[in-house]
Amino acid sequence: MPVTKAELKQQLDEIRAERDSMKIVLVKLEEEKKQTERSLEDTEAELTTAQEKLNSVEEELRRVKDTEEAIVELEDKPKSIDRGMYTANISNLAGSANLSYTITVRFDPIITLEITQTGITDYKICCRAIAYPQIETIELFEIRSDGTLRNLHVNAGATSTTSNQLSSNFDYEGTATFAGTDNCPKNYRCKVSTSYSNGMNNTGTCLTTPNVTNLQVNETQSTSTSAYLFWSLEPNGILVTGYEFEYRLLGQNEWEQYSSSNCQSFLERYCVIDGLSPGNLYEFRVTATNSVGTGATSDIQSFHTFSPPQGRPRGVLASRKTSSGMDAIDLSWEPSQKIMPGSCMIFGKNLVKIYLR
């Protein structure tokens, strides 16, 4: 069947559309080709750079290998604790001539901060530093509670000694000292400066032994055989690890120690001393201990234990008329001797009967 003109035109249009589509694909392929070529160029450049670095490393390894056979001899080999200057001879260094030069050893200050108690409320702070090169300044500071520093040399009369060269080597020593006459719960800082390093710091806390104050003794529910002790403690920033409770009868020389779980020494400080004898006068004292040591013993406090009641008190042993009038009379009397002084408490006196004759 012969093809019509319209059919031929339709076929031609389809071929042209496919050709245009193939052109678009061809353009995309050309662009991808160009991108691939650029990527290959970048990769080749990276490979070239990596090869250059590898060559440089290999050259460095060859140089190190050549210098491994260098002979190094120290005329005065330093010990681990020595500081200062030493001379070294280095030869056969990659074929070069022998060299001689001086090695200077510098190091940051070695600081020790010592705080000692010289009395109940007296203390001494000493900062020692060893350094090379020469120490220029050494100072003591108090660290206030708000974090600010108080220069003890300017405000409190601390003293310093610097630039004392030690005779054994090239080290230099410096000291700073401060003596205080109050309680010492503060933090301190020691600052050392040299021409090599500036402002090397070390901190310490002034810790002292705990002192028991304001000891008091009160009654308990069983006042005849026990006593209630409570006290205050001077704050010094360190935990109390134990207390020593001692008591004795008035007039005795030896103290007896008391240990009981019926004591509280943290939030509320108190202790109940049991096992006392009724009707006696006792003396008590307390001592506290922390990791620094044992503090000062408290003041001695006394307490009188009561005897249990022996029954109703007897009547009057004798009476006296002290004064009289037209319509009144004043009487006085003494208790029966069967009521021993201190054996019980008489809480009142009632006049029951008066016989007139």
2-20: pLDDT as tens digits = 667 777 778 777 887 888 7
Share of the chain above pLDDT 70, in %: 64
Domain shared by 227 and 264, yes or no? yes
pTM for the model = 0.40
- The domain boundary, picked from 174, 205, 236, lies at 205
**Long-range contacts at 141-144 (CB < 8 A, ≥ 24 apart):** 141/188, 141/189, 141/190, 141/191, 142/186, 142/187, 142/188, 142/189, 143/186, 143/187, 143/188, 143/189, 143/203
Chain centroid offset of residue 177 CA: 21
For residues 30 and 336, the model is more confident at 30
- The domain boundary, picked from 48, 82, 105, lies at 105
Give the β-pairing of 84-91 and 99-105. Answer: antiparallel
Q: Six-digit token pair at 290?
A: 């922390």
Task: Give a yes or no: residue 4 inside a domain.
Answer: no
- The domain boundary, picked from 54, 82, 105, lies at 105
What total of structural domains would you count in the chain?
5
Domain shared by 196 and 173, yes or no? yes
Nearest to 181 by CA among 245, 236, 117: 117
Task: Give a yes or no: residue 9 inside a domain.
Answer: no
Compute how many other C-beta atoms are within 10 angstroms of the C-beta atom of residue 190.
25
Query: Which H helix or E strand runs over 67?
Result: helix 5-67
Nearest to 191 by CA among 153, 157, 164: 153
Domain shared by 147 and 229, yes or no? no
Does residue 214 surpass a pLDDT of 60?
yes
Cis? peptide before 133, omega within 30° of 0: yes
108-159: pLDDT as tens digits = 788 888 877 676 667 788 888 888 778 888 899 888 878 888 899 888 888 8
40-59: pLDDT as tens digits = 888 888 888 878 887 877 77
pLDDT band for 263, please (50, 70, 90 cuts).
confident
Return the pLDDT at 262.
63
pLDDT band for 280, please (50, 70, 90 cuts).
very high
Nearest to 64 by CA among 90, 100, 93: 93
CATH number at residue 182: 2.60.40.10
229-244: pLDDT as tens digits = 999 887 665 677 788 9
- Mean pLDDT: which of 84-98, 119-133, 305-319 is highest? 119-133
Domain shared by 90 and 174, yes or no? no
Return the pLDDT at 356.
54
Determine the structural domain holding residue 46 and report its residue range: 16-66
Nearest to 236 by CA among 109, 117, 323: 117
Domain shared by 85 and 128, yes or no? no
